[in-house]
Structure 1
Amino acid sequence: MLKRISIFMIFITFMSCDMKKPLVIGHRGAMGHETENTLASVQKALDLGVDMIEIDVFKIESGEIVVFHDETVDRLANSGGKIEDYNIFDLKQLTLDGGHRIPTLQDVLKLIDNKVALNIELKGANTSDRVNFIMDYYIREKGWSPENFIISSFNWDELKEMRKINKEVAIAVLTEDDPKDAIPIAKELNAQAINPYFKKLTAKNVSAIKEAGFKIYTWTVNKPQDIMAMKRLDVDGIITNFPERVK
């Protein structure tokens, strides 16, 4: 019996060592622990030692880029309405679950301070120009490394706009369909990665994506057994609400 257990443990150890470690990417910060897309959530992700943090952004009525996921504030805030219809003064009056505020993109950049990479998902329309302006400022004036920015979106037209104004920034194509179908647009955009829904990944389409030259940052993987399955598929990064589970 002891011999069987020893052989099993050696096998598990070998398998663990053989698998490449994917990047640990905190989803909306570390939203399994703190209210999503808040400074507290971003700080928690940093505390947990992530390699990258993913956030979502909208451009609001007064022109600022703010960090929020939903089209309306109803789910998380003590008020309602479309986030894009808010001006910055009224937005600052909102209180989110847990007593948090909605941060601007600059608030998040100040907190991260170039310590880890930042995946900025363009949720709203007409975000690319202002996001690019802010990134450029932080690279030129605040010492941010260009490689610490990656832009993603389900809105592929918005990604096309970003590529028009910035030929160098890393782009990741988000998709919840068969990720092989994103390969043509990824090539058109000269993207770095395709970010697929983890349940759509198979050994076959992972191979096709990698053969096409793209990294795979998959979302949103929270259960230990799913995390292990993604590691076995040799994905390049795992976006998760619980970064400590990937590590």
Structure 2
Amino acid sequence: MKIETKIFGHRGYPAKFAENSLEGFEYALENGADGIEFDVHLTRDQVPVVMHDEKINRTTDGKGNIKDYTHEELQQFHLENGETIPDLKDVFELIEKHDALANLEFKTDKYEYRGIEEIVLNMAREYEFRHPLIYSSFNLQTMLRCLAIDKDLDCNWLVYRKIADPEKVVSDNGLSGIHPNEYHDFDGVQRIWTIDDEKEAKELMEKNVAGIFTNDFVKMNELRTRCEAERS
């Protein structure tokens, strides 16, 4: 059977570029990643921006929580490559230009940014993406709020642990699938994070999981090509 596993650049291409940077996203989109994955927060004045952590300390030259800065104030800080923290609209503009998938993670597991679901979904409607956006969050309530706005969205629950009955969880909550950190033995959609080990990736590809998130999509693309050659 042909391997169908899609390879997502986790936070872009952090093996080579600053994570969650426009530079990394653009490189991934133009150089063979099936899709990109990125994380969204709200500033104090409710502008959606892209960064993994709630705090800007680790990946910028500033300190503090994103939620405590206005968008204008946040522009004074820079990633290691000199970029300012990307706005979600800038990432959407990149995605719109490419025939690629995109996974937007709502970072609401520590702070439930009020209104973030409606703000992000309304913004997404302004673009003509070639593929429906994939949404995920560790906060199941965030996914349920998204589905209450649009029941047809591709919403997936991010999980750190094994789920006893993933099929029931998906069905009962109207989800499209799960995004676990380890393989689950069920027939539904699962995209696994964060896979950088080639042996583990090969096993997942052989099981035809829907997708893997990786910090090095180039290495994983090469692995997938070798796996497909072995199967043919």
TM-score range, shorter chain: 0.7 to 0.9
Q: Report the equivalent of 1:4.
A: none
Residue number among 138, 141, 149 corresponding to 1:157 in the alignment: 141
Structure 1 position 242 matched with structure 2 position 216: yes
Residue number among 138, 144, 148 corresponding to 2:129 in the alignment: 144
Aligned residues: 215
Q: Distance in 2 between matches of 1:187 and 1:229?
A: 26
Q: Report the equivalent of 2:119.
A: 130
Moved over 6 A (4+): none
Residue 114 of structure 1 deviates from its aligned partner by 4.7
Q: Distance in 2 between matches of 1:233 and 1:180?
A: 19
**CA-to-partner distance for each residue in 1:144-195, whole Å, 9 max, x for gaps?**
24x4301100011111111111111111111110044544332233222211
Structure 1 position 31 matched with structure 2 position 5: no
Secondary structure in structure 1 of the residue aligned to 2:38: strand
Question: Aligned runs of 1:1-247 on 2, under 5 Å?
Answer: 18=1, 20-115=3-98, 116-124=100-108, 125=112, 126=114, 127-138=116-127, 143-145=128-130, 147-197=131-181, 200-201=182-183, 205-206=184-185, 208=186, 210=187, 214-247=188-221
Q: Is the 8 A contact 2:92 2:124 kept in 1?
A: no
Q: Is the 8 A contact 1:179 1:194 kept in 2?
A: no
Q: Is the 8 A contact 1:150 1:170 kept in 2?
A: yes
Q: Distance in 2 between matches of 1:41 and 1:54?
A: 11
Structure index of larger Rg:
1
The structure whose residues are more often helix, as a share, is 1
Q: Distance in 2 between matches of 1:188 and 1:68?
A: 31
Residue 54 of structure 1 deviates from its aligned partner by 0.7
What amino acid maps onto 1:226 in structure 2? E
Given the superposition, is the C-alpha separation of residues 59 and 188 from structure 1 closer, same or farther in structure 2, using an over 3 Å criterion? farther
Secondary structure in structure 1 of the residue aligned to 2:119: helix
Q: Distance in 2 between matches of 1:33 and 1:178?
A: 31
Q: Report the equivalent of 1:9.
A: none
RMSD (Å) for aligned C-alpha atoms: 1.6
Residue 242 of structure 1 deviates from its aligned partner by 0.6
Q: Distance in 1 between matches of 2:106 and 2:166?
A: 17
Q: Is the 8 A contact 2:178 2:190 kept in 1?
A: yes
Given the superposition, is the C-alpha separation of residues 83 and 182 from structure 1 closer, same or farther in structure 2, using an over 3 Å criterion? farther
TM-score, length-scaled by structure 1: 0.82
Secondary structure in structure 2 of the residue aligned to 1:216: strand
